[in-house]
Structure 1
Amino acid sequence: MPRLSLTDLVDVVSKAGSPKATKVKQIKNRQDYSPATDFYKPLREKLVSIHQADQSKSDLPTILDGITDLKKIKTYAILVEGYRKWWGTKKFGWFSPPTTIYSHAGLDVSVNPELGLSFNGVDHLIKLYLKDDEVNKAKMDLITSLMEHCLREKSKQGTIMSVLDVRGSKLYVLSTNATAQKAIIDAELAYVAALWPNV
């Protein structure tokens, strides 16, 4: 069964017409996932380890330690600064975030927030949005709505579903009708499934 990431889903939904079909084709024909070619994997893992070890904001620059690829160094520096600004004066507690797979129309979507952070007395499940794309509430609502649908029963009461635009230092929380958004997601996945054999 083909598998999409949450970012793939956002990319497809945010396009229309030929660009949408082109995006589906790109997703179908890309190489199988490999940790070695996952551009952001070291950064995600180091952010998680910093919070798991209850390290401080001053430890964020260590994310760049051992990175030799010049493109990664430049990009990671921007992301580390964005995360530092968002961190601000918050005091975090770590918990392991639940993950799952959402299946519809013969497609799987990985629903996998990287961070489980408690701050200001509230648990937050946080999906990191790292790409250098336009970020808007409509895109983020798709992610938080699917997280709400899939992860609510796996989460403590009161847990907030959220997406962090790391570059923009902004946390987007669920603020829409998750049921209506799920209908949109299902329709988009049905479209992708219908197109998949033909691209």
Structure 2
Amino acid sequence: MNTTQKINIGLSQFTEFTLKGVSAKTNMVRKIKYQKEYHPAFDYWKQLRDQIVSYHKNDLNKNCFENLIPRIDIKKQPNYIYAIRQYLKFLNKKETIWFDPGKSVWIGDKLSVRSSSELGLLINGVPHLIKLYFKGKNDKVDKRNINSSLILLNTSSYDKTFNFEVNHSVLNLHNNKLYIKNDYNEDMLIALESEASQFVYIWNKI
């Protein structure tokens, strides 16, 4: 399907949108629509996101997280330290094995969402595709309001075929809570499409 005419955003942006109240949704879409072109230097969590991937992919020692802190802008260090603690708490007493998560995208009627998971992990033998979410401090994330993002992950198109059934997951780094959903019904799909349509409507109005 040709997505060249579609609005294209990332899953973290879509998730943040779904967590906002009505008026805040408009401000959120405006911010996304008129933001400057992406540059790694302005990606607040990029260094930690990359380090988490490298830690698992290259089977590094946990000291790699401590060694990361001095390379982070001093203003960001408290948030990085907290997120690292939460991630290590999440990993506590879990056996993890890396596998390539591949790339994925969700394609709606007028909206395309980049939905690639950062992590492919066997956690105590159970396979998970994990999308990292770092903004749970500002927006309350719970099982109910993260549902649309989980359905989106389930209904995305993937460039890899796995020979095992994976759990589609979102990890909220603010409270090390892993949200998992593998089943959905027609009402849940309608709710997801409604969120996507609302995003497009606001985008076209501002």
Q: What TM-score comes out, normalization by structure 2 length?
A: 0.86
Distance 1:140 1:156 in 2: 27
Aligned counterpart for 2:106 among listed residues 102, 122, 142: 102
Contact 2:106 2:157 in 1 (8 A): no
Runs of 4+ in 1 over 3 A off after TM superposition: 56-59, 151-156
Could you say which residue in structure 2 is the equivalent of 1:144? 150
Which residue identity lines up with residue 147 of structure 2 in the other structure? D
Q: Which residue of 1 aligns with 2:3?
A: none
Q: Tell me the equivalent position of 1:119.
A: 123
User: Does the 8 Å CA contact 1:164/1:171 hold for their aligned counterparts?
Assistant: yes
The two structures, once aligned, show a CA RMSD in angstroms of 2.0
C-alpha deviation, 1:2, in angstroms: 2.2
Secondary structure of the structure 2 residue equivalent to 1:177? coil
1:20 to 16, 19, 25: 25
Deviates more, 1:165-174 or 1:2-11: 2-11
Give structure 1 stretches of 5+ with no counterpart: none
Q: CA deviation at 1:109?
A: 0.5
Structure 2 spans left out of the alignment, 5+ residues = 1-5
Residues 141 and 175 in structure 1, CA contact (< 8 A), matched pair in contact too: no
Identify the range of structure 1 (163-172 vs 13-22) with the bigger mean alpha-carbon deviation: 13-22
Give the alignment of 1:111-190 within 5 angstroms: 111-131=115-135, 132-133=137-138, 134-150=140-156, 154-174=161-181, 177=184, 179-190=186-197
- From the superposition, tell whether residues 101 and 45 of structure 1 become closer, same or farther in structure 2 (CA, over 3 Å): same
Aligned length: 198
TM score, norm. by length of structure 1: 0.89
Q: CA deviation at 1:175?
A: 6.2
Q: Secondary structure at the match of 1:164?
A: strand
Does the 8 Å CA contact 2:19/2:141 hold for their aligned counterparts?
Answer: no
Aligned-pair identity (%):
29
Please list the CA deviations of residues 74-118 of structure 1 after superposition, one character each: whole Å capped at 9, or x if unmatched.
111000000011110112111111222212132211101101111
